Structure 1
Amino acid sequence: MKKIIARGAILSVLLTGIGISCKDQFLDVAPTGQLTVSNLNSLNGLEGLLIGAYAQLNGRGYSQTASSTNWVYGSIRGGEANKGSNPGDFNAITPFQRYEVLPNNGELNARWNNMYEGISRANAVLRAIANASSDVTAAAKQRISGEARFLRGHYYFELKRTFNMVPYVDETVDYGTGIEKVPNNVDIWPKIEADFRYAFDNLPEVQTAVGRVNKWAAGAYLGKVFLYQQKFTEAKNIFDQVIANGKTSNGTKYALVTNYASLFTGENEVNSEIVFVTSNVANAGSSDAASGDLNLNWPYNTGPAGPVGCCGFFQPSFDFANSFRTNANGLPIDQAQANGAYDRPENELKTDMGLASSEPFTPDTRPVDPRLDHTVGRRGIPYLDWVIFPGQDWIRDQPFGGPYQNKKYVYTKAGESRLADVSNWTKGWTGINVNLIRYADVLLMAAETEIEAGSLTKALEYVNMVRARAANPINFVKLPNGQNAANYVINPYPASAFATKEAAREAVRFERKLELGTEGHRYFDLLRWGLAAPVLNAYLAYESKKLPGGFAGAQFSPNQDEYLPIPQTQIDIQGANVLKQNPGY
């Protein structure tokens, strides 16, 4: 799958295997650059169209913010990180962290266009497969249509949770007849659900290539769609099946990998935790094959992706880093942060804010969850296998972005030669695959459904499976002398922590923040829990004291900011009588 995607543009894939005849009809030349229906309806043609639909997962051809990794839409808007860098660089992102996005923001239009491009490509597969040529077996039709509908469901899911009411176009719409003006007046949850149900019922249990979705990826996603609609019983039933039977692309049963860091560095790309993943490759002749959507999110100056001075974006927030503090029993020091109790000195990590790298600094010696140092780059702690993180020397503008730097999906120094793409201006393009759904996410979603429609005991079991992996000493970051880099203390929850639904909800929600931090889930979780306004306004009040340049005066407005505005460009194209703007914009 990676090798196919690495060929670049979809056209080059579609042309593969198309022969040229040397008969006397050679003078009957088809128009240059056009593909015939027979080309597209062959097995090679259908596979090429399908690869094109997969390719949009990374937002290729649009913006770094447009992709399915959701570092802006899920993590920055969820309070896990800020834009970072400095105030002037890519300042179209700053309104996202301040909840001040206007309909004319170009990043909104890039997001919209990318998702509908993916939908268009999935529809093209389904349209072509209806008249498939004789080399396409019934099994191939079933598999390809299942993958296409999975991808279409995914792109519509992203549009739904970003903009809420969006137009729905499927393969039955003839784009050449001017019917492309479709209103956004129908809730599309049933359509999304139907696509994932079809994929679950028709995809094989095992695919032969990493990156191709299978039955169990479809089941996990279907359960997620149920969860977003608060259909807890339906979600529990499907998660039960995925947990009991789910398999990865190589036939391995889903399981948590032992080494947490290996999920994000590219050293262990084929593993038992992959459910749904983007597929990337470095140095394939074009950076289009690499993961360009995360290419800004690297330490500034001489660190990885240097020495060109790139880029320092996506800096973890003070609140997010504080969340990893634990008590002497190895439990979160303040679960109530999930409901907005952020401003407590006993929760704050010691930082080097305001200190030059040449000035002495000793990291916090109080207990912390070890996942902190696989997620947040901080002064005095090894940054993967590069160096001890030097603090301000690797931060572009500390007063604007703070003292921390992103750590997930950064290649190791040992893996640089394989994973850093050097075909563009920065080595931030990489061959690291990015997990969109992984097994820990499935377990924690399943825990939510057990709380609401099943068993608190089972929910406790799932959460403690995730915590037990984090507690494995292999996940304790080490200093060069072999000692632990910090005071890592983490333990399973006791049964008393799940004695009531309310307490269990708090624990699961906070565990998602810790386990899945900076992976693009947080904002959407807060939204579906109905906690976006109280949690994010508490976050803004706290963070503005630390970084007034980026947060002073920012506020989340209920009944407006839950969803982003429909891009004004799209309303101008379609007409205000076709596309209705979201409330408050």
Structure 2
Amino acid sequence: MKRNNIYTALLSLSLLGLGACSLDLEPLTSPSSSSYPSSMEEANFGLNAVYSSLTAYSASTTTWWKVTDNITDIGATRVNTAMYTELITSGASAENAVANKLYNCVYKTVARINQLLDALDNLRGTASDTDIESIRAELLCIRAFCYDQACQHYGDLPYVVHTAGINDSQTPRTPRETIVENLLSDLSDECLANLPLRHKAESYGSARIGRVAAYALRARIALNWKKYDLAASSAKQALNLAKEAGFELESINTQYCGESHEAGEPTGQTALFGYDGEASNEWLWSVQYDAVISSNKTKEAYYMAPRTLGGCAYFGPTQTFVDMFQCKDGKSITESSLYDWQNPWQNRDPRLDLFCLRPGSRIFNLEFQTSTTSKKIHDYSTGKDVTNMESQGTKGVYGANGTKGPAGYLWRKYLDIAELERAAISNHETSDLNCGLMRLAEVYLIEAEANIEMADGNLELARTDINIIRNRVGMPDVVVTSQSGLRKALRYERTVELCNEGFRWFDLRRWGMASTVMTGKIYAPNQKGLMSNAKPSFDDNWHPAYSEGSSWDGKALNLRVYNTMKYIKGKDELWPLPQSEIDTNSAIIENNPGY
């Protein structure tokens, strides 16, 4: 049972209801602006309501940030799910459920933020300026977080910074460049100084934004919009403050990675991405869940877990992503003498086994196999063989490598055996594993990328930052010193280290890669259990490409085509605004190009 959850205060709270009309106008039953908030207690209830709204960011009842990598080149969803497939085949319309969900969540959250921001001065004389300005800073950070994501997805937006009344529903779009400048202005040093370095456990810990997280957020936003000088300086401030506040990278055990799992199961990732990791000092900010609250839990354990464990096998990595993982010598599978294409899981970057399930993986003491020829799998807890539900019968059709499943693999990242023990997988709805939004490793990589890309950047510092992340899992140092070499190393490191955390969609567009890698075939493993014979070539972005004439055995590729992506330049850089927004807001004359 979780304790001291930031959202338990909302169980009996009816403040700040969720509206459904354009720009999420607050209902008439909301507290009067002349009296709300009447106390710090009420203000904190309102702040909790803002944080609570982040739990609504989801798709397929899985937290948003664990979904979006699965509509890129490195992750996949069930092939027959239209709302996702449309987004990778240039087939989305203004009615797309995924695009609509994010848009609505953003404006519901912003509405709550604006209402409380506009009313904070009601506390003057009854609360200290320190307390008031601390809440204001938290609210501005969350609003910046929301608008930053929305601007990247939708472009120009209705920019609402005050409580919207019924006469404010017709709000035109503001250029996203203007919005971003305002967001960064909101996150000034003067504003962030009002925050504590970090919130103590009794104040909900990483569920709330402290000063370290705020500087990290400013660094992220600046990086997203290629403001490299500000990204570098903000990341540096965050890292310096992190040491003072006691944040540090989590130690990760890599035992059983890159080898047969008959001897044991890799579980080191749970120290950061499982229930034990919720209190890790690496997390700067997390969305907090609690299963005792009916609306504050997810089904993501069910959606992520294998069919053999009673899961849905809904999301998983692609062959492209699996092939990206270096060998232990830091070289690609094409270049390394350690790579054996018939034993491809040996001698690989430990994060392959820490973050992914592949044939032969051991997960919760069960063998994981996706081949239709693997009718039985081994149960290590009993020593007996059991039916392989991942590839047999009706369930197997929707298995990891089934004809209606994802692209052949599943995510291990964020899977915790505690979910099995508490029946979160089998009953579909009791997972309350927190969703991390920002961790220290990302900040190191922000600082590295900013220094690589900015004029007169510190390339040696960038190399050091990259190696800090690599060394944690026993990977060798990056030794290149050129800008181009470090850029390639950085892009590998971000892709691997931050996988399934919701960054890839944004990274591809910032790096100018989307139109190249989000088109063409998505490959998945052969369904008969043959190891991939593909010998990919790697470009300067560490992205693999496949061709029929390049295989380890000189034969035709034995991979199957899971799906074919399509990307139209001038359209697919953005998602559409919801049709409901176009219909109700006459100030928005047209949607994004192509929609």
TM-score range, shorter chain: 0.7 to 0.9
Match in the other structure for 1:584: 594
Partners of 1:538 and 1:510 lie apart in 2 by 21
Q: Which amino acid aligns with 1:408?
A: K
Correspondences of 1:389-468 after superposition (within 5 Å): 389-391=368-370, 393-394=389-390, 396-397=398-399, 398-400=402-404, 401-413=406-418, 416-417=420-421, 426-453=427-454, 454-468=457-471
Match in the other structure for 1:163: 154
Counterpart contact for 2:229–2:450, Cα < 8 Å: yes
Counterpart contact for 2:156–2:175, Cα < 8 Å: yes
- Count of residue pairs the alignment pairs up: 502
Partners of 2:355 and 2:458 lie apart in 1 by 31
What is the Cα deviation at residue 129 of structure 1? Answer: 0.9
**What are the superposed Cα offsets for residues 337-382 of structure 1, whole Å, 9 maximum, x if unpaired?**
xxxxxxx9x98966xxxxxxxxxxxx53543111011111112122
- Residue aligned with 1:297, SS: helix
What is the Cα deviation at residue 9 of structure 1? Answer: 4.9
Partners of 1:372 and 1:110 lie apart in 2 by 31
- Relative to 1, partners in 2 of residues 1:134 and 1:257: Cα closer, same or farther, differing over 3 Å? farther
For the pair 1:331 / 2:334, whether they are aligned, the reply is no
Deviates more, 1:99-108 or 1:461-470: 99-108
Partners of 2:333 and 2:323 lie apart in 1 by 9
Q: Which amino acid aligns with 2:182?
A: K
Match in the other structure for 1:126: 117
Correspondences of 1:299-314 after superposition (within 5 Å): 299-303=305-309, 306=310, 310-314=311-315
- Relative to 1, partners in 2 of residues 1:80 and 1:463: Cα closer, same or farther, differing over 3 Å? same
Partners of 1:314 and 1:246 lie apart in 2 by 33
Correspondences of 1:260-299 after superposition (within 5 Å): 261=269, 262-282=271-291, 284-286=292-294, 288-292=295-299, 294=300, 297-299=303-305
Counterpart contact for 1:58–1:69, Cα < 8 Å: no
Which protein has the bigger helix share? 1
Partners of 1:370 and 1:228 lie apart in 2 by 28
Counterpart contact for 2:76–2:318, Cα < 8 Å: yes
- Relative to 1, partners in 2 of residues 1:349 and 1:54: Cα closer, same or farther, differing over 3 Å? farther
- Relative to 1, partners in 2 of residues 1:297 and 1:349: Cα closer, same or farther, differing over 3 Å? farther
- Residue aligned with 1:268, SS: helix
- With the length of structure 1 as denominator, give the TM-score of the two structures: 0.78
Correspondences of 1:465-476 after superposition (within 5 Å): 465-471=468-474
**What are the superposed Cα offsets for residues 37-71 of structure 1, whole Å, 9 maximum, x if unpaired?**
546332121111111111222326x7447954152
Aligned partner (choices 185, 192, 195) of residue 200 of structure 1: 192
Partners of 2:11 and 2:149 lie apart in 1 by 22
For the pair 1:315 / 2:316, whether they are aligned, the reply is yes
**What are the superposed Cα offsets for residues 286-316 of structure 1, whole Å, 9 maximum, x if unpaired?**
2x22245x3553224341xx3xxx4221121
Q: Which amino acid aligns with 1:391?
A: T
Partners of 2:85 and 2:430 lie apart in 1 by 22
Partners of 1:252 and 1:526 lie apart in 2 by 33
Q: Gaps (5+ residues) in structure 2?
A: 17-27, 254-267, 372-388, 391-395, 524-544, 548-556
- Residue aligned with 1:263, SS: helix
- With the length of structure 2 as denominator, give the TM-score of the two structures: 0.77
What is the Cα deviation at residue 136 of structure 1? Answer: 2.4
Partners of 2:314 and 2:62 lie apart in 1 by 16
Match in the other structure for 1:48: 45
- Residue aligned with 1:53, SS: helix
Counterpart contact for 1:66–1:114, Cα < 8 Å: no
Q: Which amino acid aligns with 2:165?
A: Y
Counterpart contact for 1:4–1:51, Cα < 8 Å: no
What is the Cα deviation at residue 144 of structure 1? Answer: 0.9
What is the Cα deviation at residue 5 of structure 1? Answer: 4.0
Partners of 2:340 and 2:91 lie apart in 1 by 28
Deviates more, 1:224-233 or 1:368-377: 224-233
Counterpart contact for 2:62–2:298, Cα < 8 Å: no
Which protein has the bigger strand share? 2
Q: Which amino acid aligns with 2:507?
A: D
Partners of 2:40 and 2:521 lie apart in 1 by 52
Partners of 1:174 and 1:330 lie apart in 2 by 53
Partners of 2:340 and 2:567 lie apart in 1 by 23
- Relative to 1, partners in 2 of residues 1:581 and 1:11: Cα closer, same or farther, differing over 3 Å? farther
- Residue aligned with 1:388, SS: strand
Match in the other structure for 2:86: 95
Match in the other structure for 1:184: 173
Correspondences of 1:196-275 after superposition (within 5 Å): 196-197=187-188, 199-208=191-200, 209-210=204-205, 211-246=207-242, 251-259=245-253, 261=269, 262-275=271-284
> In angstroms, what is the RMSD of aligned CA positions?
3.2
Q: Which amino acid aligns with 1:551?
A: N
Deviates more, 1:230-239 or 1:399-408: 399-408
Counterpart contact for 1:83–1:97, Cα < 8 Å: no
What is the Cα deviation at residue 268 of structure 1? Answer: 2.4
- Relative to 1, partners in 2 of residues 1:217 and 1:13: Cα closer, same or farther, differing over 3 Å? farther
